[in-house]
Chains A and B, each alone.
Chain A
Amino acid sequence: SYELAQPLSVSVALGQTARIPCGGDNIGSKSVHWYQQKPGQAPLLVIYRNDYRPSGIPERFSASNSGNTATLTISRAQAGDEADYYCQVWGTSVVFGGGTKLTVL
């Protein structure tokens, strides 16, 4: 079965750029989606189809996908960006990465 690998945690200084990787075999050939989940809340779609932002998601959120790694990029990181972030693909089944906890220092 297909697997997605994410680091357990990523730290970023306030106002700097955070990059959260999501690894998978030839993931660049798939459509990757990203979710943000804050404590006690349901996940929120922040990126879909590799690099599209839903309405209401700040332009600071962007993403790329190539080769074996997809990457979520958060520019000018804010304290409110602290959350768990999950990547997801849908092939023969729905697959989520294990999640990355983003800490803004």
Chain B
Amino acid sequence: EVQLVESGGGLVQPGRSLRLSCAGSGFSFGDHTMTWIRQAPGKGLEWVGFIRRAVYGGASEYPASVKGRFIISRDDSKSIAYLEMRSLQSEDTAVYYCTKEGQPGHGYFDLWGRGTLVTVSS
């Protein structure tokens, strides 16, 4: 079955760190850019960052809202992508989705995980 499964969410105190994982199966994981997208409670979708395929150097990009605090990495041998989040703030409370890019270079997400909830609170 083609799927993405996120894990690692939970309750975390402000200022602390958390690492999310995204396990892919049923497709050639290493052939796709992997992107994290979040959704705060009752809000819209927000891009958190992506990591390109190894053939493109595995480069990553982030929006200003998380740059310097969030790091995405990947282990293609295990078909897993990671989202390392540091200095977490209440504004980071959201469901975090892992997504797979469709056709390379076309910038759409044709497979989404079910998401994992991160709650930042003391």
Check if A and B associate.
yes
A interface residues, Cβ below 8 angstroms from B: 31, 33, 35, 42-45, 48-49, 54, 86, 88-90, 93-99
Q: Which of B35, B44, B112, B115 contacts A94 (CB 8 A)?
A: B35
Tell me the minimal C-beta distance from A38 to chain B in angstroms: 12
Cβ-defined contact, B108 with A88, below 8 A: yes
Q: Using A43-B97, A43-B109, A43-B112 as known contacts, list a sample of 6 further A-B pairs with CB atoms less than 8 Å apart, ordered by residue number in A.
A: A42-B114, A45-B102, A49-B106, A88-B109, A90-B107, A96-B47
Chain B contact-residue range equals 20 to 34
Top 9 closest pairs, chain A to chain B, by CB: A90-B107, A94-B47, A33-B108, A42-B112, A48-B108, A96-B45, A99-B44, A98-B44, A45-B110
Cβ-defined contact, A93 with B61, below 8 A: yes
B interface residues, Cβ below 8 angstroms from A: 35, 37, 44-47, 50, 61, 63, 97, 102-103, 106-110, 112-115
* Residues of chain B within 8 A of A97, CB atoms compared: 44
* Residues of chain B within 8 A of A99, CB atoms compared: 44-45
* Residues of chain B within 8 A of A35, CB atoms compared: 45, 109
With A33-B107, A49-B108, A86-B44 as contacts: A93 and B102 at CB distance below 8 Å: no
Bound: A43/B44 CA distance, A? 11
Query: A-side binding surface: helix, strand, loop or mixed?
Result: strand
Closest A residue by C-beta to B64: A1
Cβ-defined contact, A54 with B110, below 8 A: yes
* Residues of chain A within 8 A of B47, CB atoms compared: 93-96
**A48, A90, A94 pick with most chain B CB within 10 angstroms:** A94
Cβ-defined contact, B102 with A94, below 8 A: no
25 intermolecular pairs with C-beta atoms under 8 Å apart: A33-B107, A33-B108, A35-B45, A35-B109, A42-B112, A42-B113, A43-B112, A44-B112, A48-B102, A48-B106, A48-B108, A88-B109, A89-B107, A90-B106, A90-B107, A90-B108, A93-B47, A93-B61, A94-B47, A94-B107, A96-B45, A96-B46, A97-B44, A98-B44, A99-B45
Tell me the minimal C-beta distance from B92 to chain A in angstroms: 17
* Residues of chain B within 8 A of A95, CB atoms compared: 47
* Residues of chain B within 8 A of A89, CB atoms compared: 107
